[in-house]
Amino acid sequence: MLHLYSADEIHSALELIFDDPSRRRVVVVAFVGRDAADLLPHPRGVELYCWPEPGATSAEGVRRLLARGTMVKFVDRVHAKVFWCEGRGAIVGSANLSTNGMTAEGLREAGVLVEDGEGFDIGKLLKGLSPRAVTEVELNELERCSNLLRAQQRRVLSAPKAANKAAKMPVRAEAYQPTSFRAWAESPFPTVWRFAPWFEEFDDDEEEETAEVVESDFHRDAYDDSVQVEPKHFRVS
């Protein structure tokens, strides 16, 4: 086992174990940066799993990886950082596939290189994931929410010094209080509401259509259950 004490050392170890594109290679990281395709050695054929979290994973970075032949899948709430190569071993540490995680100009990272034969089971790690295919619809939504989040952060950072202290606090989901359904549906923060159809206000066709959507999209009985929903379930026209 080799100890890695910086982002540079992690990236150097990655270049070492990913130098043979004929071997199976797997990356499981929380977040992917804009320059991920340039940081990943021989990206074609790599299996990559990441969390499409607005403001953290770059939609452009994912598109660049896909364009270079990386097999990207999305996994919600994955926070592992593992780079594995068949017959070479695995890097396990703190670094995401981003400039912050893989360069000297980035964050302070650390990890270990577990050599092949030391018992790291990539199959067991992947078995615990629930991946899904990357779609253009979800990439567009990731990009839209990330842009909204950055715009809100810019407004907070540009607030006058004399402004209320609360305006200078980092943007947090629990502090975000949308004032309308549109604001909630377009929010970058996936707060949960409970939704229940009220059929007395619907005609027969609307009632049937709503019940079908609730049952097919949320796997609930529209007449008996309320449904937990997030902004990603709605698109406001």
Domain assignments of the chain as residue spans, ordered by start = 2-136, 172-237
Determine what percent of the chain is predicted with pLDDT higher than 90: 56
Domain 2-136 CATH class label:
alpha beta
Determine what percent of the chain is predicted with pLDDT higher than 70: 66
Cβ atoms 76, 166 nearer than 8 A: no
Cβ atoms 115, 51 nearer than 8 A: no
Rounded to whole angstroms, the Cα distance separating 133 from 61 reads: 16
Phi and psi angles of residue 180, each rounded to the nearest 5 degrees, phi first: -155, 165
The whole-number pLDDT of residue 175 equals: 47
Q: Which of 53, 28, 199 is nearest to 130 (CA)?
A: 28
Q: Which residues contact 89 (CB under 8 A, 6 or more apart)?
A: 17, 113, 114, 115, 116, 117, 118, 120
pTM of the model: 0.69
Rounded to whole angstroms, the Cα distance separating 147 from 151 reads: 6
Rounded to whole angstroms, the Cα distance separating 63 from 70 reads: 10
Rounded to whole angstroms, the Cα distance separating 31 from 70 reads: 15
Which band of pLDDT confidence, cut at 50, 70 and 90, is reported for residue 231?
Answer: low
